[in-house]
Structure 1
Amino acid sequence: MHDVIVVGAGPVGLYTALLLRRAGLDAVVLERRTERSRHSRAIGIHPPALRALASGGIADELRGRGVLIREGVARSAGRPVGTLSFGTLPGDEKYVLAVPQAVTEEVLERRLEEAFPGTLRRGVAVVGTRDAGGSVLAATRTVREDGVLEARLVVAADGARSPLRDAAGIRAPVRRYPDCYVMGDFRDSTQDGDDAVLYLETGGIVESFPLPGGIRRWVVRVGCPVERPTAEDLTQLILERTGVGVDPGTNSMLSAFEVQSRLADRFVSGRTVLVGDAAHEVSPIGGQGMNLGWLDAVRLVPIITASVRDGQDVAGDLALYEKERRAEAAVARRKAAINMALGRPLPAPLMRVRNTVFGSLIRNDAIAGGIARAFTMQ
């Protein structure tokens, strides 16, 4: 019997397993995919998460493979609106680290395999769980055979559509938003260096973020869902709204998405505990989801350790975990909703007024500091 089964080998599941193994627990990670995804959706690592990742040198390696964004620049109609500096942030991490999710997962997976070989088992799907009193049974399926694994606890890190959450009878109502986006990665043709740039335009916001290797990610708000995005259509939208020419032939990632959020009614049910998107799905705008999941793991693993290794009664600690992490996720969801509202289309006269107000606010040091902390989950 294992101490813990972690289901899902995304960034949150891998980091949760690494923390569990470091705590001396027998943990395994089961992942239905046979190979790591190369699709990089989450790119921003915020200071609180960087501090959590500092142990074992993970944060240092990610910093060496990413871009440190120290300023965010706002523009509109070809004119500057203002610049938000992260230099006033508390602590040493006065930046947001931009790293492709594929790189983050590769680093975490390698660290886990080097320190604790065999922890990750790919090609293993969990098709059901059953509480057996003092343990939980996980029914598994591979291309070769079906099986059953037993553990004291299951940690569900299996994403926003979490089958384990549903199997545990936990509700996670969906909240939908009138916001759709197309995003893509292209060779950087700008002179913006390591700055993030927000184009506040009447047709909707355009966001631009630096990535390592001379790549820049572009995210464009559109009015309705795009089923088959093309690099040519996206670069045309960028040109029309911002005046920036981007070469569609350099496209290396392309995606379109509608925005929704979920917040599970409970994070704990019997011997199943939710982390990451399984517990709280928030808008990708603002880049909070992956970071929230890592902070879930930091809070949860000592509680699991106290229970499994030390035999302590942790019912109260689990209840507090659920309360605190749900509250933090609710705050993140509100921040994401505000970010999306600021990016919606506005008539030109209203846009000019709003930009004037926004520009004056970020020139006030006290207000700008508060905005910088809000943007970086502090």
Structure 2
Amino acid sequence: MPDHDVAIVGAGPVGLLLACLLAQRGIDVAVFEARGAADDRSRAIGIHPPGSATLDAAGVGAQVRAEALALDGGDVICASRTLASLTFTAAQRVLILPQHRTDAFLRARLSQVQDGALHLGCTVTGVWNEDAVARLSFAERPDITASFVVAADGVRSGIRRQLGIAWRERPGSGWYSMADIPDSSDASLGTRAQLHCEREGLVESFPLPGARRRWVAGDPDRVLGDAAAFTHAIERRTGIRLELPGGLKPTVFQARQHLAARLVHGRVVLVGDAAHETSPIGGQGMNIGWMASQHLASAIERSLRAGRVEVEEYERRTLRAAARAQRRSSFYMTMGRPARGPALLLRNTAIRMLGTVPLRGRTADMITMQG
């Protein structure tokens, strides 16, 4: 007999949500996380309507909504002119909550439905299939076996590498700098997002709970990691002057897109960022992982009841959904790149068209993962 029905490697938002869904079904689950404490970085902030539905299914939706900020819509601007303006309906509403707070709700829920399921400070050193079980080895503890092992260990998944699963690069990449700062009175934009698609590059501004905003600037030359350079670039592109708190340095990051060649290897299954890296431009990666977790939880439950592996449909659906999200994100990144002359005119015309009355609802559906 295996030690657990399911062993999940990685206690990020996707691994934790999957664990909650499984435990609620009476499935014995163990979650192993290499970090010895919770990750308190802000990271992902956008919870799209399909993601909200998965949080409801995991039993934390009401708590998330009580603390999150609801995004009313957004405006696309170039040279101080609004090219398109969208207002979300109730069905399209995006919630804004820093990832570490969502993680905290999911950890508490997992403890409630299966106390002791989360194991911190456990570094996986090996994984392999054995007849009717999968085995995990650790640096700090004895091996364990499970009917299924789920790799939710992120973009740099050690399990994916060990299994030799190809990690295929997809179109869409770019460098950006980001800072979360207090929402100053002269730059206050309420509960709307602003996307400045300027000649010199993208500037994004998203509201955060607690009267804060996230500012993101396209940084192809990786020169905006300094606070002064970051604020100067935003002022030059948009005319908005920001003040970063003393000592705060913007985070420089690369947005890239990858898709695993397959998600199933015997009784080992990939999910979340281990399965697909989707650019944060558009904020869809975490939500795709949550949606996939619902399908995977159902597939694992069926497999355990049938006594055989029945997760092929999960693999097909997730690869298709991730590819669609990556195409959208690649489009978003293209629209935010520096542009001049005819290229700028063509881009702005396309943005204006997407914001016209006949297309406005469809555009909002696409942005909020409804279409």
The alignment's TM-score, normalised by the length of structure 2, stands at 0.94
Does 2:299 match 1:303?
yes
In the alignment, which residue of structure 1 is the partner of 2:16?
A: 14
CA drift of 1:348 comes to: 5.0
Partner of 1:221: 218
Q: Is residue 225–residue 258 contact of structure 1 (8 Å, CA) maintained in 2?
A: no
Counterpart of 1:248 (choices 224, 244, 256) is: 244
1:287 matched to 2:283: yes
2:224 aligned with 1:231: no
The offset of 1:358, in angstroms, is: 2.1
Distance 1:208 1:370 in 2: 22
Paired with 2:297 and 2:200, the residues of 1 have a C-alpha distance of: 45
Residues 1:199 and 2:201 are matched in the alignment = no
CA distance in 1, matches of 2:172, 2:302: 40
Q: How does 1:165-204 map onto structure 2 within 5 Å?
A: 165-175=160-170, 177=172, 179-189=174-184, 190-204=187-201
CA distance in 1, matches of 2:77, 2:243: 21
Tell me, in whole angstroms, the C-alpha distance in 2 between the residues paired with 1:252 and 1:104.
24
Indicate the residue corresponding to 2:110 in structure 1.
112
Structure 1 residues 218 and 371 mapped into 2: Cα distance closer, same or farther (>3 Å)?
same
Q: CA deviation at 1:169?
A: 2.3
97, 100, 103: which one aligns with 2:98: 100
Cα displacement string for residues 221-257 of structure 1 (whole angstroms, at most 9, x for unaligned residues):
122235x812222112111111111111168673111
Equivalent residue of 2:37, what SS? Answer: coil
Is the CA contact (8 Å cut-off) linking 1:184 and 1:251 kept in structure 2?
no
8 Å Cα contact 1:262-1:280 kept in structure 2: yes
Could you tell me which runs of 5 or more consecutive residues in structure 1 were left unpaired when the two chains were aligned. none
Deviation of 1:97 (Å)? 0.7
Change (3 A) 1:64 1:251: farther
Q: Which amino acid aligns with 1:372?
A: A
Residue 61 of structure 2: aligned partner: 59
Could you say what secondary structure the match of 2:167 adopts? coil
Partner of 1:374: 366
Distance apart, 1:350 and its partner CA: 4.0
1:184/1:253 contact within 8 Å kept: yes
- AA aligned to 1:331 is R
Q: CA deviation at 1:115?
A: 2.7
How many residues matched? 366
Aligned to 1:82, which of 67, 81, 84?
A: 84
The aligned amino acid for 1:179 is: G
Q: Deviations over 1:89-118 (max 9, x none)?
A: xxx533111110111111111111233211
Q: Determine what percentage of the aligned residue pairs are the same residue.
A: 39
Q: Which residue in 1 is equivalent to 2:254?
A: 258
Instruction: Please tell me the residue identity of whatever aligns with 2:102.
Output: T
CA distance 1:251–1:306, change in 2 (3 Å): farther
Any conservation in 2 of the 1:201–1:345 contact (CA below 8 Å)?
A: yes
The Cα shift of 1:219 comes to 0.7
2:355 to 359, 362, 365: 362
User: Please, which runs of 5 or more residues in structure 2 have no aligned partner?
Assistant: none
Q: Is the 8 A contact 2:135 2:143 kept in 1?
A: yes
Distance change >3 Å, CA 110–CA 284, structure 1 → 2: same
Question: Does the Cα contact within 8 Å between 2:92 and 2:364 map onto a contact in 1?
Answer: no
Question: Letter of the aligned partner of 2:295 in structure 1?
Answer: R
Which secondary structure does the structure 1 equivalent of 2:91 belong to?
A: coil
Amino acid at match of 1:8: G
CA change 1:58–1:362 in 2 (3 A) is: same
Q: Deviations over 1:60-116 (max 9, x none)?
A: 2111111111211111112222211222xxxx5331111101111111111112332
Q: In angstroms, what is the RMSD of aligned CA positions?
A: 1.8
Task: State which drifts further: 341-350 or 204-213.
Answer: 341-350
What is the letter of the counterpart of residue 238 of structure 1? I
Q: Shift in Å at residue 128 of structure 1?
A: 0.3
Using a 3 Å threshold, how does the CA distance of structure 1 residues 148 and 264 change in structure 2: closer, same or farther?
same
Q: Residue 352 of structure 1: CA displacement?
A: 4.3
> What CA distance in whole angstroms lies between the structure 2 residues aligned with 1:118 and 1:196?
40
With 242-251 and 368-377 compared, the bigger mean Cα shift is at 242-251
Pair 1:57–1:178, CA change in 2 (3 A):
closer
Q: Which amino acid aligns with 1:199?
A: H
Relative to structure 1, is the Cα distance of residues 192 and 264 closer, same or farther in structure 2, using a 3 angstrom cutoff? same
TM-score by length of 1: 0.92
**Is the alpha carbon distance of 1:333 and 1:178 closer, same or farther for their aligned partners in structure 2, counting shifts above 3 Å?**
closer
Matching residue's letter, 2:348: N
- Shift of the alpha carbon at 1:161? 1.1
